[in-house]
Amino acid sequence: MPQNLFTLFATKHDLHQTPMHAQIMRDIHWQVYGKPGNQVFVRRIGPVAFAKAQHFDTFDPNFLWFVQKKERVLLFQLEPAVALQYGKKKLTYLPGHHAVWDTTLARYGIKKQCTPLAHSKTMLIDLRLSEAQLLSQMKQKMRYNIGLTQRKGLLKLSRISFAKCTPAVLQELFDLQKKWRRSRPHALSFPEDFLHHFVRNFTGHGHVYTAHLGNILAAALYVPVWEKMATYYCACALPEGFASHAPTALTWYAMLQSKAEGCQIFDFGGVYDERYPKTYKGWKGFTVFKEGFSPLPVVFPEPRVLSLFH
């Protein structure tokens, strides 16, 4: 019997815990400690430092204290994955069941902290389902929009691997992002410099999906792949792209291509988390869009701070 989707997701390394993300952090002047699964990122500020461990799935308090002492970490933020290896135990987090985290982590001077740095909630699509099953579980409007784009045939959908993103290709993508920002000034996006590092370091691990209206690049979607999981990482579109349902068509196309290449999960990445309404107030719009595909919501444990004293 196949693993259920949540259980399967719990076996995967989050993108924050990949070797590629670690190199991105080094490129933007963070120090990296640990290996995939328990990577810690440290930023020095004069004589002290700030550290963060994001969606880590291996809990070793002695390692955390070593980093804290060596780097004089003043603030150490911990954001566990949904399943945490603690010695020989596997602690799995389910919403509303906080006791195991409270009792296990509190003894090490780890207390609750309220503002996440990495996304604290995601949504998943099970790519092990057939194409017909994936379509049938979507909301009716989403299915209609996908069918409409196919019937009209106005959009040309394609993809290019990160490895083949030449400077000219990247410039076209970044120009699209600039136009998108001007049309949606409150939209959230990654800085251009960060995306440069992202594409370079995820070479061989994903694609940029694009939608053209005639000769106009109307929408783009970055989808890294790791451990048979494709992630909706960053997207942008022109107003005419939205009018032509390019984001919907492009996301569906990325799902099917990822499925064809053996991916088991399509991870929608960060979405609005009701636990932190102020932090995520700008995320409601694209969360409604992602909900149209009827994904499985998954929440991460609440962030914690490692005490200076233990």
Q: CA torsion sign, 285 to 286 to 289 to 290?
A: negative
241/141 same-domain check: yes
256/151 same-domain check: yes
> pLDDT tens digit string along 141-196?
999 999 999 999 999 999 999 999 999 999 999 999 999 999 987 777 889 999 99
- At a CB cut-off of 8 Å and minimum separation 6, what does 120 contact? 79, 273, 275, 276, 299, 300, 302, 303
Whether 91 is covered by a domain: the verdict is: yes
- Name the 3-class secondary structure at 303: coil
Whether 280 is covered by a domain: the verdict is: no
For residue 194, the domain's CATH number is 3.40.630.30
Distance CA 63, CA 42 (A): 14
Whether 217 is covered by a domain: the verdict is: yes
Q: What's CA 97's distance to the chain center, in Å?
A: 24
207/136 same-domain check: yes
3-state DSSP percent of the chain in helix, strand and coil, to 5 = 40, 30, 35
Which tokens sit at 128? Answer: 């092990």
Distance CA 111, CA 288 (A): 32
94/13 same-domain check: yes
What's the Cα-to-Cα distance from 229 to each of 94, 152, 309, rounded to whole Å? 21, 31, 38
Whether 180 is covered by a domain: the verdict is: yes
110/173 same-domain check: no
Neighbours of 191 (CB within 10 A): 10
pLDDT tens across the length of the chain (310 residues)? 467 999 999 999 999 999 999 999 999 999 999 999 999 999 999 999 999 999 999 989 899 999 999 999 999 999 999 988 887 777 777 665 555 666 667 777 677 777 899 999 999 999 999 999 999 999 999 999 999 999 999 999 999 999 999 999 999 999 999 999 999 877 778 899 999 999 999 999 999 999 999 999 999 999 999 999 999 999 999 999 999 999 999 999 999 999 999 999 999 999 999 999 999 998 999 999 999 999 999 999 888 888 765 4
Q: Which helix (H) or strand (E) holds 152?
A: helix 140-152
Q: CA torsion sign, 131 to 132 to 133 to 138?
A: positive
Computed over every residue of the chain, the mean pLDDT equals: 91
What's the Cα-to-Cα distance from 25 to each of 20, 197, 237, rounded to whole Å? 9, 9, 27
Distance CA 7, CA 210 (A): 32
217/95 same-domain check: no
CB 251 within 8 A of CB 268: no
Whether 249 is covered by a domain: the verdict is: yes
Whether 291 is covered by a domain: the verdict is: no
pLDDT score at 2: 60
pLDDT score at 133: 97
Task: Give strand pairing partners of 217.
Answer: 212
Whether 69 is covered by a domain: the verdict is: yes
177/230 same-domain check: yes
Distance CA 272, CA 281 (A): 7
Number of domain units in the chain: 2
Range of the domain at 9: 5-120+300-306
Task: Give strand pairing partners of 213.
Answer: 155, 216
E strands along 127-174, which residues? 155-161
Neighbours of 112 (CB within 10 A): 14
Residue 270, phi-psi category: left (phi > 0), alpha (psi -120 to 50), beta (remainder): beta
Which tokens sit at 236? Answer: 């942008």
41/101 same-domain check: yes
CA atoms in the 13 A half-sphere facing the CB of 126 = 17
CB 40 within 8 A of CB 68: no
Q: What's CA 41's distance to the chain center, in Å?
A: 17
Within the chain, what is the greatest distance between any pair of CA atoms? Answer: 64
- At a CB cut-off of 8 Å and minimum separation 6, what does 180 contact? 187, 189, 236, 237, 238
